[in-house]
Chains A and B, each alone.
Chain A
Amino acid sequence: MKRLKIGVFGLQGDIEEHVAITRLALARMGLEGDVIWAKTAEDIKSLDGLIIPGGESTVIGRLAEYNRALKTVKERIYEGMPVLGTCAGLIMLARKVYDRVVGEVRQPILGVMDVVVERNAFGRQRESFEVNLRIPVLGEEPFKGVFIRAPAIRGMGPKVEALCRLNEIVVAAKQHNMIGVSFHPELTNDTRLHQYFIKIVRDVT
């Protein structure tokens, strides 16, 4: 079987944590693979799957636009490369973004996933929280959701499937090769979401 190559979009944010948990997930699945920091368009072109980490979406977007990786990421996703976005990564994927307090925001995003995302939807850092989530595709056992100034999915197109809700609020969703989540699985030891993503990468590779 082909050795998988997964990249973590390495411009800003908790890149190392994603690299570490993706390696752990591969090991737990008994798969061979390389996990790299993908910074440039060239790096992106070589990948089987991409993870966009948590961080500040304004910073990741601006840097990606500046080094011209943004366009390549978009092309690769349209070609079918699987992508997982957590927190800022979900914001990058969204078709439309607005901020809870500031409202309309102008920031470079990918705009590939048919979701409308509200930034800082649960409030500021003081309101950040941990909660046990039920994510049916990952099994019965609760998943610890770490929400840090987290965004929420406020609108979804017909091709988007909700993977997890906090009461009525969608906090994880999937559209074909794209997964976007509001929370930070990479800050925990739970590799189930990364394993779920790696399976998608393996299936299309």
Chain B
Amino acid sequence: MISLVSSVLRPKGLRTEKLEGAEVFRGTTLVKRGFAHMLKHGVIMDVTNVEQAQIAEDAGAVAVMVLDKLPYDVRRAGGVARTASLEAIQAILDHVTIPVMAKCRIGHTYEARVLEEAGVDMIDESEVLTPADEKRHIWKWDFTTPFVNGARNLGEALRRIEEGASMIRTKGEPGTGNVAEAVKHIRIVNNEIRRVRAVYEDGDHEELIRIARELGASYEIVAETGRLGRLPVVNFAAGGIATPAECGLNDDSRMRRGLRRLRNLQV
């Protein structure tokens, strides 16, 4: 059984419908977080067009992430980076069988709505694009489509999950080909989880709630993280991961301790 911690009661993204005469529930926490579990031990590749998406699929990618420009080019071009064109997304949806994800700007609820309508399988509320709201993230429980968010530490990860993220990717330095930042953030999250786990196992509730306040997350999700000894949702390593060896590094047993690991390869 996967963890359903922090699910909100009757979220707007939950849809009850009839299918083949039966009552079915779409957009439940189980269905959204469960989707991320199916990607585990896989590689998600950044792509900008159908040709790249098909290469990724043939090469064994577990999903593709559609961007207008690859992170390297986003950094170089400067200016405002937005979500990918709907034509490109639609073409990719029509030509690959693996899941298709796309990025929207942080806090840009309506870019996310457009992506949901387009039918992408997961939305990445991503810092690689220019934030649309510099203070707030999208309330992701309003969506039937699951979200993934970036995080550099445990507090960020748990806050994003409480906003409705179904998957976390520990951030790296996108578009650099330098894996050091990805490694650093996994280490940080792992070390923080180790501490929470030790406190949880000692049954020290006073310290757990103090940590929760420090992290800006609820007592409930901090305690669940301590009980599980890992994040309550699947985690991917992302950013600057360019070769199979770097995927291996991020899937290594010492790295994965405390994390539901996955890796994110950028082409």
Task: Tell whether, in the assembled complex, residue B35 and residue A148 are in contact, meaning their CB atoms are under 8 Å apart.
Answer: yes
Query: When chains A and B are docked, how far (Å) is the Cα of A125 from the Cα of B40?
Result: 16
Q: How far in angstroms is the closest Cβ of chain A from B53?
A: 12
Interface residues on B, range: 35 or more
- Stretch from A10-18, A27-35, A42-50 at the B interface: A10-18
Task: Tell whether, in the assembled complex, residue A148 and residue B38 are in contact, meaning their CB atoms are under 8 Å apart.
Answer: yes
Query: When chains A and B are docked, how far (Å) is the Cα of A11 from the Cα of B25?
Result: 30
A55, A58, A147, A167: the one within 8 Å of B97 (CB) = A58
B1, B95, B96, B98: the one within 8 Å of A187 (CB) = B1
Mask: chain B, 187-208; 1 = CB below 8 Å from A; 0 = not: 0000000000000000000000
Task: Tell whether, in the assembled complex, residue B99 and residue A13 are in contact, meaning their CB atoms are under 8 Å apart.
Answer: no
- Count of A-B contacts with CB under 8 A? 131
Task: Tell whether, in the assembled complex, residue B30 and residue A14 are in contact, meaning their CB atoms are under 8 Å apart.
Answer: no
Task: Tell whether, in the assembled complex, residue B41 and residue A122 are in contact, meaning their CB atoms are under 8 Å apart.
Answer: no
Knowing A119-B97, A120-B97 are in contact, say whether A14-B40 is a contact too (CB < 8 A).
yes
Query: When chains A and B are docked, how far (Å) is the Cα of A137 from the Cα of B118?
Result: 40
Q: How far in angstroms is the closest Cβ of chain B from A150?
A: 10
Task: Tell whether, in the assembled complex, residue A54 and residue B97 are in contact, meaning their CB atoms are under 8 Å apart.
Answer: no
Knowing A58-B60, A59-B42 are in contact, say whether A187-B2 is a contact too (CB < 8 A).
yes
Inter-chain contacts of A56 with B (CB < 8 A) = 38-39, 42, 62-63, 98-99
Task: Tell whether, in the assembled complex, residue A126 and residue B60 are in contact, meaning their CB atoms are under 8 Å apart.
Answer: no
Mask: chain B, 44-79; 1 = CB below 8 Å from A; 0 = not: 000000000000010011110000000000000000
Inter-chain contacts of A21 with B (CB < 8 A) = 1
Task: Tell whether, in the assembled complex, residue B97 and residue A102 are in contact, meaning their CB atoms are under 8 Å apart.
Answer: yes
Task: Tell whether, in the assembled complex, residue B1 and residue A149 are in contact, meaning their CB atoms are under 8 Å apart.
Answer: no
Task: Tell whether, in the assembled complex, residue A124 and residue B1 are in contact, meaning their CB atoms are under 8 Å apart.
Answer: no
Is B145 engaged at the interface, CB distance under 8 Å to the other chain? yes
Given contacts A58-B57, A125-B145, A129-B17, 17 further A-B contacts (CB under 8 A): A13-B40, A54-B37, A56-B98, A87-B38, A105-B97, A125-B35, A126-B144, A128-B26, A129-B24, A131-B24, A148-B31, A148-B38, A149-B35, A149-B99, A166-B19, A168-B20, A188-B30
> Which 9 residue pairs spanning A and B have beta carbons closest together?
A167-B20, A125-B121, A129-B24, A14-B37, A189-B1, A131-B24, A12-B41, A99-B97, A130-B25
